[in-house]
A and B are shown apart, each in its own frame.
Chain A
Amino acid sequence: MRLLLIEDSQRLRSALETGLRKAGYAVDAAGDGRDGLWLALENEYDVIVLDLMLPGLDGLSVLRQLRERGKATHVLILSAKDLIGDRVQGLRLGADDYLVKPFSFDELCARLEALVRRSYHAKNPVLRRGPLEINTAARRVTCEGREVKLTPREHSLLEILVLRSGEVLSRRELWERLYEFDREVTSNVVDVLVCSLRKKLDPHQPQRFIKTRRGQGYLIEEPAP
């Protein structure tokens, strides 16, 4: 899952980048409103975490411009402004959630997970595809009752594929969802990641869950009705 973090406090931005990456998110970060707006318009993110008091362009203006330009990306406002009026204004301008500073990192993660689920129209944090069970809240995966240890990025890859079951996702699209904007990655990094995930899910039958569509990408098929 790919996030955009727009926060002017360098210390907070750095801590959140570190934490969210460790939690499995690909995180792009911007320290002012103009850069943040540019990144948000240029890339596809699952969620944008947006501070309100930003240099260059304030958070509400960023949000307004995003919505005016048709960007429907979920936005979570993260602000020190705690008045009801501030929250109402932010939500009415098109934000999807509002979290007041200081906040619990776990709460932020939970809210981000909820927004990601909403992106894929999923309400239950536990996703099931046949013998696969993915608990997105606990970040725990089991296959036929056996716990599968995954890295955060492998977990994110599996989550995307399950949430978009039945859709063929191109390498490019997967790369965009899994890696940061400025991260240099090799061309086959997605293939390597898929290969690793397949082996962990079923070492004996790697292609059991994740199918390859040659020249198109990867998919997890929807369970038969």
Chain B
Amino acid sequence: MRSLRGRLIVWLLAGTGLLVTLAGVLLDRRIGSRLRQDFDADLIAEARSVMAVTEQQNGRVELELSPGLLPQLEARQEPDYFQVWLPGGRVLARSPSLGGRDLPRSASPSRRFQFAGLTLPDGRRGRRVEITFRPLVEPDDERTAGPPAGAGSAATLVVATGSEALDAFLASLHRTLALFILGLLLGSAVLVRIVTAFALRPLDGLARRLEAIDAGSLREPVVIAGAPSELVPTIEHLNGLLARLAGSFERERMFSANLAHELRTPLAELRAVTDVALKWPDDPASLLGALGEARSAGLQMEKIVVNLLALARYDGGLHTLHRSRVPLRETVESCWRAAAAEAEGRGLTAMLEIPAGLTLVTDREKLELILSNLFANAVAYGSPGGRITCAATASDGRFTLRVANPTTELEPGELPRVFDRFWRRDAARSDGRHVGLGLSLVAALCELLGFSKEARLHDGVFEIAVSGPVGEPEAATAIPKGDAFLPVSS
């Protein structure tokens, strides 16, 4: 059974049924036992009365039952019965109700009261008590006869009475208890159903709310009025999940929109340039200019596609890492040289502080891609006239590389988005030279190489820190002291 409500109902009913049945059975047993005890006590009392009038006198055992002493023995309808035997099986006395018939007795006499069921001589079901006892000895007889009679003077008494009333009452008690238990179970079933429906109402509300969630309502938190405390953590986790999902959807939408824009713009340029050139084909200078513009637009699209394909390959695991020993300082210098000209054009200077002996064991090509993109980003968005710094440190087998540039354009709230694909601070996305994939590539490459990355903004300086394992312990320790930094200005 997969329904929570069904499970609750079944288990609660099964548990309640078991407990109620057990209680009923115990009650039935207890009442029955008590009634039988009382019944047997009456039987014993009757037997004791008979025993009391059984006396031994002058060596003879006599039973003198005065009329009216035990009226139940004399009743015409449904009478009780008794019979007394002397040793040797001689019948001393029997109740008048027996006539000449005998009551059954056990083969092994006992001095304790023994009870057993029987069918009475009048055909009723009954119960008998049997005891072997020594009759009372008259005092005079004791004086004259000396010591009491020996074993041979013991008598056996059986008293029997009808038990149909008791049996009928007990049967009625069984039925009453069974009906009570059944009623209780049925009542419990109804109650359990009502209670579970009431208790699970918040779950129904949650299910309805979840059913109503679509891509457009992910930002609306799930609120269930009167939610039980057990459900509150689930709802909180759910709302957290929805918020993350909404964020992902938003990023997805932004990605698609930005991608569309990034591709539509050069496509529109390409089409406009070629349309105009083809409409007036007689001007060779215009045609040549159009060809140049078309090529630029094509290169811009190529850049987008190449970067997207690279990201897709990294995401899809379609890559091979070629690890080798990479001297960080030389690699940083080499990558900086590619960006230096543009940095100079923007009036930016650079300070590279890389320990001379720091060597990483990693994929050289991908590390170069990380560095190139970090430098390109710093140059593109660094405040003109400012200084770009690139510094590295290493300790305990780990390195940290920081690339920082002054900026006046970034807000702290925008830091979480700097690694998003196609994210650009300029909502107009005017600068066609940048598409907003550089830092996304850095993030993907860092993940690929097992590095972590972090973006910070403090005192107007934007910094990206990349850190990770050096790769080999000995490489990490091979950092010479002294003139270990190579400042480079451009």
Contacts and interface: CB of A to CB of B under 8 A. Distances in A.
Interface stretch (A50-58, A125-133, A179-187, A203-211): A50-58
B340 interface: no
Contacts of A9: 265, 268-269, 430, 432
A14 interface: yes
> Which interface residue of B257, B264, B269, B297 has the most chain A CB atoms within 10 A?
B269
27 contacts: A9-B269, A9-B432, A11-B293, A11-B432, A16-B272, A16-B276, A19-B276, A19-B279, A22-B276, A22-B280, A31-B430, A32-B428, A53-B427, A53-B428, A56-B428, A58-B427, A58-B428, A80-B260, A81-B257, A81-B261, A101-B265, A102-B271, A103-B268, A104-B271, A105-B271, A105-B272, A105-B276
A103 B430 contact: no
B275 A19 contact: yes
B149 to A, nearest CB: 122
Interface in B259-287: 260-261, 264-273, 275-276, 279-280, 286
B427 to A, nearest CB: 7
Given A16-B272, A22-B276, A105-B272, A11 B261 contact: no
A68 interface: no
B275 A106 contact: yes
A14 B430 contact: no
A22 B273 CA distance: 13
Nearest to B426: A55
Interface residues of B, number: 28
> Which interface residue of A31, A80, A82, A100 has the most chain B CB atoms within 10 A?
A80
A18 interface: yes
Interface string A52-87: 011110100000000000000000000011100000
A104 B279 CA distance: 11
B296 interface: yes
A105 B427 contact: no
Interface of B (DSSP majority class): helix
Contacts, number: 86
B293 A101 contact: no
Interface residues of A, number: 28
Given A54-B430, A80-B260, A18 B276 contact: yes
A63 B428 CA distance: 16
Nearest to A22: B280
Interface of B: 257, 260-261, 264-273, 275-276, 279-280, 286, 290, 293, 296-297, 426-430, 432
Given A8-B430, A14-B293, A105 B275 contact: yes
A80 B269 contact: no
Would you list the 8 A-B pairs with minimal beta carbon distance, nearest first? A105-B275, A19-B276, A101-B268, A80-B264, A102-B268, A8-B430, A15-B272, A102-B267
Contact of B268 (A32, A55, A80, A81): A80
Contacts of A32: 428, 430
Given A9-B265, A11-B293, A103 B271 contact: yes
A38 to B, nearest CB: 17
A102 B267 CA distance: 6
Interface in A125-162: none
Nearest to B270: A102
> Which interface residue of A16, A19, A100, A106 has the most chain B CB atoms within 10 A?
A19
A54 B290 CA distance: 24
Contacts of A10: 432
A160 B413 CA distance: 53
B272 to A, nearest CB: 4
A12 interface: yes
Contacts of B268: 9, 12, 80, 101-103
A22 B272 contact: no
Contact of B269 (A12, A100, A104): A12
